[in-house]
Amino acid sequence: MIEFTVADWAAWAPGLTGAEDWRAWARQPYPPRGEDAPPLTEVPAMQRRRIERLGRMAMQAAYWCQPAQAEAMPLVFASRHGDPARSLELLDAMTRGEAMSPAGFSLSVHNAIAAMYSIVRGERGNYVALAAGAATAEAALVEAAGLLADGAPEALVVLYDSPLPEVYQSYADEPDPYYAWCWRIARAGEGPRIALANAADEPGIEEPAPPGLPHGLDVLRFLLAGDAELTFRDQGVQWRWSRRA
């Protein structure tokens, strides 16, 4: 089991931008829908033009959550699918016998958003990008807890995902709206304390996500709604989130 304090949080999805929007959403959750993207005014226009919609969402949440003067804060960027639409464009180019765009390839890799964030902010500390299927949120917090155990005072966790292209929809096992959220976590102390534990799967009651929500977004709902617990099963493992304070 790991425990940590959520020192701050931020999130962005179509139609949900401010903290009060998200708190109201947590009381009556629904899948975000819309075509808008965050302005991301923190990033110079020349660099901002290279950042696709998903990257803008993830980076906007991170900018809002990370203090401007924070130094060497380790970063954990986590996404189940990354940016599959960009990757599909490259695969389509290959099938047509065309050369892949070097810029398109560099922005399609799983750590691209984390790398762009570290570049535009001038971050020189540790960052990691990961994916762990349906349990990506859990993997991200376990990774961040390890960074805290290694001595980091705080760590930034950014979780984000986007809809799968139509060609992959037959493989989807949960809803996939656009969303991004960020938690700045510290070792368990003052503030909302969250515990996360896992164990071999065993018979019990699993709390299904509200209709239309992927699990990663349901984790944010758990934090904002003030629920006592959230349980989730994946690959023979039962995960249990619980609130300590």
What pLDDT tens digit does each residue of the chain (245 aa) get?
Answer: 999 999 999 999 999 999 999 999 999 999 999 999 999 999 998 888 888 999 999 999 999 999 877 667 999 999 999 888 777 777 777 888 887 776 676 677 878 899 999 999 888 889 999 999 999 999 999 999 999 999 999 999 999 999 998 898 999 999 999 999 999 999 987 767 899 998 766 665 566 677 789 999 999 999 999 999 999 998 888 999 999 86
Level-2 CATH architecture, domain 9-192: 3-Layer(aba) Sandwich (3.40)
Which helix or strand (DSSP H or E) is residue 240 part of?
A: strand 237-243
Model pTM score: 0.91
Closest alpha carbon to 223 in 182, 190, 187: 182
Q: 221: which residues sit within 8 A by CB, 6+ positions away?
A: 25, 26, 29, 210, 213, 227
Q: Which two tokens stand for residue 95?
A: 């099938």
Q: At what angle do helices 19-27 and 215-225 cross, to 10 degrees?
A: 100
Can you name the residues that pair with 230 across neighbouring β-strands?
241
d(CA 151, CA 229): 28
The pLDDT, as a whole number, for residue 87 is 79
